[in-house]
Amino acid sequence: MEGETQQPSAPIQENSSDGPRQISSDRVNRVKKLLFRRMLVGIKDGRFFLGGFYCMDKQGNIILQDAVEYRSTRRSSPSPMEQRCLGLILIPSSCRISCHVDCSVEEQLSLLSLNEK
């Protein structure tokens, strides 16, 4: 492509000399570091899924392993929660409304600082 300095068919490499590329691979790398960590995904109908972060694609669809489903037994909160095991699940990005990862307080700070970049 014209006006660009990068090589035409180079795949994204971690040690690319290009500025913008480095940052984008950083974000992907940070997410890679979250793999297999406990992830809590909330979805549109009010349920939560807790499982190991296994995979994500460009559309934002997430796969969790050994997932547990949490749901409240009443529409209004607070209410007792029910849970059941589901195994390997795929959560489409269209129904996901929140996503949290279990991490130490320090890590959380560094995660947040990245978020704001």
Partner 1 sequence: MAHKPTDEEAFGVAVPGRTSIPSGDNSVWADVSPLLHGACQDLQEGELIHGDNFNLFAAMSALEIMDPKMDSGIVCRYYSLEEAIENGAAPVPVSVDKTTDIRCIIDIMDHLLACEATWHKGHSLAQTVYSCLYLLQPDRTSSHALLHSYCRVTRATCKAVLSVVSDARTHEEEDLFTMAYGLPLSVDGDEKCLSMLNAVEETISRQLRACKSSSKRRVLEAIEPLQSDPDQEGYCKALLCRLRFRKHLYHLLMSIRRPQGRGLELARKHIASCISEFDCILKSSEFLRASAQGMCEQNIEDTTASGCQAIGFDASLNCRSSAPTPPRSIKILSWKKAVQYFVKLLQDLDIICAYSLDPSLEAALNFVIKFQKSQPDLVARSHLQLLLVQDGKLYGRIPMFALITRAAGLPEVTKDHDIQKNEFMVQLEQLVMNLLKILCTNVAWQRRKLGKMLQDWRVIHVQLELAFKKEFGEASKPSYDELCFKIFQQILMWVEEQTYWIAHRFLILGFELELYSVHDYCMVYWYIYTVLIKLAEKTHLRIVMNTGTAKKKGKKKKDSFKDAGRDYQMPGAVLFLQSQIYLAEGLCMMFSALKNEHVIAAPQSPFNTEHEIFIQQFELLRKACLPDNISYRSFKESTMHANFSNLVMCDYFKEAQKIAKDAKSCFANDPDKMSELRRVEQVAEHNSVALNLICRIGAIDRSLKVSFEFSHHPVFATAIVKRS
Residues within window 27-66 making contact with partner 1, judged by CB under 8 A:
27-28, 30-32, 34-36, 38-40, 42-50, 54-60, 62-63
Chain centre distance of CA 49: 13
What is the smallest separation between the CB atom of 2 and partner 1, expressed in angstroms? 21
Contact call for residue 18 and partner 1 (CB under 8 A): no
Instruction: Write the burial class of residue 52 (CB in 10 Å: 0-12 exposed, 13-18 middle, 19+ buried).
Output: middle
Q: Which of residues 77-106 bind partner 1 (CB under 8 A)?
A: 77-79, 81-82, 84, 86-92, 95, 97-105
In the complex with partner 1, which residue's Cβ is closer, 6 or 81? 81
Alpha-carbon span 79 to 111, nearest angstrom? 31
